[in-house]
Each structure stands twice: as C-alpha cells, then as structure tokens.
Amino acid sequence: MVRAGGSNGGRPTVGVLALQGDFAKHRAALRALGVESREVRTAAELEGLSAIIFPGGESTTMTLLLDAGLREPLREFSRDHPVWGTCAGLIMLAKSSDDPRIRPLGFMDIDVARNGFGRQVHSFEANLRVADEIGDPERPLQGVFIRAPRLRNYGSTVHPLLWLGEEAVCVRQDHFLASSFHPELTDDLRLHRYFLTMSA
C-alpha cells in the first residue's frame, strides 16, 4: 500500500505536481477514493507525502519548471516513494524522448515519442484492454488521449498494464507507473486505485 505520511493522523497523503496541467482533476479522483492530496510546487511541499502524481501538461515547459529547484528533490523523493506520470508526466519519468528540449528524470527504462499519437487535432478516446492487476479484464478502461506520448521502446523490467489494441499505453516498473492517456478525465477510478496499492 502507499505508505502513510505527513501529519494527517497516519493517513496517506498523495502529492500532485501542480506546476501546470490538470492537477485539480487528479485531486478530485483521489478525493473520490477518500484519499488526502496536496498540490506540490516547491521542494518543501514534498515533506511527509506518501506518493506523487505528475499530471499532464506541456513537457518542454515542465522541464524548465523542474529545473527551477525541483529536479533533485524529486529524484531524492522517488528513491522510495511511488510516482505516477500521466501524458506529459510519462515523458518526464522516461529515460529518453525524441525531443531534445526535454530533460526527463530517467526514473523508468522507457523511450518515448512526444505527441506520438498526434497533435491536438488528433486527440481521441478509446477503450483499453486491462491487465488482471488493474481490474476485470472483461471491462475495458476508457482512455482519453490528448497530444499523447507514445512508448517507442521499454526495458525487460517494465511491465505493460493497459493496451490500445496490441500497443502498451500504461506500464509499471518497480514503484513507478506511467500512462500515455488521461485517466483523471473519466469517472473510472481503477488506475488511481491501483496506484494507491503500489508499494515503494
């Protein structure tokens, strides 16, 4: 389980990186699951958190914002806490990307193509095939893809959890989780619930 932390009576508090993007939607999903959350904009706000979510946004801008004092604190935090990146957040967790302007944190052995599923005009929704760990494999999870990154390659210790057709769009490696799409934009809370069960 996500470890308890902070001064919230022993209950877990999940951080949501709030430099840009749709962090409020992630907080709403966590609230629906009865989990406390906190917006994170500074290194001090990492204190006492049990886990953190990197939401969608604009990955080149996110690179610049991380370089303004959060990059190393996030590296330290990630050593023993669960981290989840969605859309642009996935790019920031990657080892490498196809855009030289982006400086990912390298938490996961994945190589990504920024906007690999197309630009804004190519945004789409689709039913995704679900691994047993996420929930009932007979019940697809709806994925919202907005300028979504694409996994070009991933290492042998990276495990797919959701697929668009035969293509992995959500993967886990140790205590890191990454999804190409925006699970916070639907009412299906299975992926948020799964993240809360991940051990650091």
What gap in Å lies between CA 200 and CA 162, rounded to an integer?
Answer: 21
CA end-to-end distance (rounded Å), the chain:
8
Active-site option among 26, 81, 175, 184: 184
Type of residue at 10: G
| Residues forming beta bridges with residue 16, ordered by sequence position | 39, 53
Active-site option among 87, 170, 175, 192: 87
Confirm whether 184 is a catalytic residue. Answer: yes
Active-site option among 26, 81, 175, 182: 182
Report how far Cα 98 is from the mean position of its chain's Cα atoms. 19
Question: Which DSSP letter does residue 46 get?
Answer: G
Residues tagged active-site: 87, 182, 184
